Chains A and B, each alone.
Chain A
Amino acid sequence: MMHPLAIVGLCFSYAERPVLKNITAHFPKGSFTGIIGPNGSGKSTLVKVIARWLAPASGQVWLNGKTTAQLSHQQVARALAVVEQESIHGIDLTVRELVGLGRLPHQSPLQNETAEDKAIIEQALSKAGLSDLQDRLLSKLSGGEKQRARIATALAQNCPVLILDEPTTHLDIRHQMELLTLLRSLAQGGMTIIAVLHDINLAALYCQRILVMAAGELYASGTPAEVLQPRLIEAVYGCQVSVFMHPSAGIPQISLIPL
């Protein structure tokens, strides 16, 4: 079966320094994958290479059976939506205007929004819980709302794959949970979701599969139970943890052992 996203032998270097070393992975339809790893392990670079913002030194990114090198910018953006870590500049746009830009990959430059575009935008807003805020300026939104607006924009792209780089970073725990719940329900709806996450426990709670990156390599991948091993975490992060079972979810969680 053809995967919505597969990466094969990806390598990338910043000025001679290798940042990604031969990364291979595939992402089945409807899966929710978390990518974890210490700072500087190449997680964000991996996202940028997959999204073709950076060109790989070697290897390919396959989107539904085609390498991104064969596709135009618009075609890539129809197959793959990305929510970056960096915040966006423009704050004098309304939520509706921002989410409307999600239709850009499907339109020619001067084309007006069709009825289909409008329906998809409405749907994206409602999935992200923003229908009531659509006329508000981005500058007037809270951190959690702003993040949801960006996810709604990505949803309006109507792509089979959604990649997010540390989407929970500036959110409090309730908003982190809401966001991950939203992503999980999107995956259940058939989207392929990949999120770079810092919080190992949250990744274990919400993702079906976790990829662990260390020093530019794919160090391990597997279910939360396979990845959350004290020895593995110590080897990758250099700190000691104990693993216990979540009391109600039956999923492994880690707890730091102070030095």
Chain B
Amino acid sequence: MALVKVLASTRRGRLTVTLSLALAVALLLGLAVGAVDISPTRLGHSIGQLFTVPLAEWDFETIVLFRLRLPRVILAAMVGAGLATAGAILQGLLHNGLADSHILGVSSGASLGAAVSMLLGLRFTFFGLGAVTPMAFLGAVATLVVVIIIARRVAGSSTLGLLLAGIAMSSFLSALVSLLVYFSGNRIHPLLFWLMGSFAGRGWQHVALASPYLLAGYALAFFYHRYLTAISLGDMTAHHLGVNVEKVRLVLLCSTALLTAACVAVSGVIGFVGLMTPHVARLLAGENYRRLLPYSALLGATFLTLADLVARVLLRPTELPVGIITALAGGPFFLYLLARSRKAMI
């Protein structure tokens, strides 16, 4: 109770409580709504059962909840948090509000790595999942390196260079993935659906798979949050404040690659979460990454949980890939940012 009082006493504390409550509500909604709706009382009953009754005596609804819906909702929240954090880091690191893993082609790079390992894995081992995330990580890192090197060679506007390099890499890598899918014969369907970004059929093993990468990526970023705030003011300013900019940038790029790779490996390419949510978080929290990182994560988790909910119920009983929902919301938002940034930068 003392903690609640402390939290409620400051504006930032209230904001943290509000955002956490919003996420809790989104998670509960995600649990209650689906192919079969679960009423609030039944939901309460089932959640109680999870903790009080042994597994063998669970109701059908409790089993659905625990086996199917809970891991899916948690995974959506985790991926949302991961993508949003990656976007917030990239925007600060590159001094560019239009940066995120999807726009810069990092997600495509990760998906190429993941697709290659899925196809090879399906052929050669029974251990397909284990290789997917590391391969996605390699793809993400390689793409980031190429995009940033090319962008630095574009004279004048760094925004233009970054966006063009990112878009070119993104298209090229997506084409490579499509090519892989095309030549993979009967394995076409699961890969295609995965590519569009979806949480359909994801379970606890995916939560377990993504968690270490997401935790490591977030921890790295939070460890350097002050340096990231300094770098977001400008590389030279950060240097004068004693920050080893090259080293910190390398570590933080690895952190975004870890976050993106984990998200792509378990849910495919989901765009615009990483672009939108950091902007909303920045409006609420300012540029200080001590708050910007957790707020972005909370908002991203809430947004993607709700987007997945919409994807599940819009065409019930079938479901849409959640990537379509986020793109529908995010495309116009991106155009809005672009139109605004032209005014601010030129």
Contact = CB atoms under 8 A, between A and B. Distances in A.
Contacts, number: 76
Interface residues of B, number: 23
Given A88-B234, A104-B241, A157-B241, 19 more contacts: A52-B239, A72-B244, A84-B234, A84-B236, A84-B237, A84-B240, A86-B236, A90-B232, A90-B287, A92-B282, A92-B286, A92-B287, A93-B229, A101-B229, A102-B241, A104-B226, A104-B242, A105-B241, A109-B227
Interface of B: 95, 223-227, 229-230, 232-234, 236-237, 239-244, 282, 286-288
Given A84-B237, A101-B229, A104-B230, A93 B286 contact: yes
A101 B241 contact: yes
Contacts of B233: 88-90, 93, 98, 101
20 contacts: A51-B240, A52-B239, A73-B242, A74-B242, A77-B241, A78-B242, A82-B240, A84-B240, A88-B234, A89-B95, A90-B232, A90-B287, A93-B233, A93-B287, A94-B286, A97-B229, A98-B233, A104-B230, A105-B242, A109-B225
A81 interface: yes
Nearest to A163: B240
Interface in A31-78: 48, 51-53, 72-78
Contacts of B237: 84, 88
A75 B237 CA distance: 16
Nearest to B246: A73
Interface of A: 48, 51-53, 72-78, 81-82, 84, 86, 88-94, 97-98, 101-102, 104-105, 107, 109-110, 137, 153, 157
B234 to A, nearest CB: 5
A60 to B, nearest CB: 19
A137 B225 CA distance: 19
Contacts of A104: 226-227, 230, 241-243
A93 B282 CA distance: 10
B243 A73 contact: yes
A31 to B, nearest CB: 21
A86 B233 CA distance: 11
A73 B241 CA distance: 8
Nearest first, the 10 closest Cβ-Cβ pairs linking A and B are A77-B242, A105-B242, A92-B287, A74-B242, A82-B240, A92-B286, A90-B287, A88-B233, A90-B233, A73-B244
A48 B236 CA distance: 9
Nearest to A150: B237
Contacts of B95: 89
Most chain B CB within a 10 A radius of its CB, from A88, A90, A92, A98: A90
A59 B336 CA distance: 50
A98 B238 CA distance: 11
A73 B240 CA distance: 8
Most chain B CB within a 10 A radius of its CB, from A93, A101, A109, A137: A101
Nearest to B247: A73
Most chain A CB within a 10 A radius of its CB, from B225, B237, B242, B286: B242
A90 B234 CA distance: 8
A86 B235 CA distance: 11
A76 B244 CA distance: 11
A109 B224 contact: yes
Given A77-B242, A88-B237, A90-B232, A97 B288 contact: yes
A97 B289 CA distance: 11
A137 B286 contact: yes
B286 to A, nearest CB: 4
B17 to A, nearest CB: 21
A90 B95 CA distance: 9
A105 B238 CA distance: 10
A62 B163 CA distance: 42
Nearest to B282: A92
A150 B39 CA distance: 57
Given A92-B282, A93-B288, A73 B227 contact: no
Contacts of A94: 286
Given A89-B234, A104-B227, A109-B226, A77 B287 contact: no
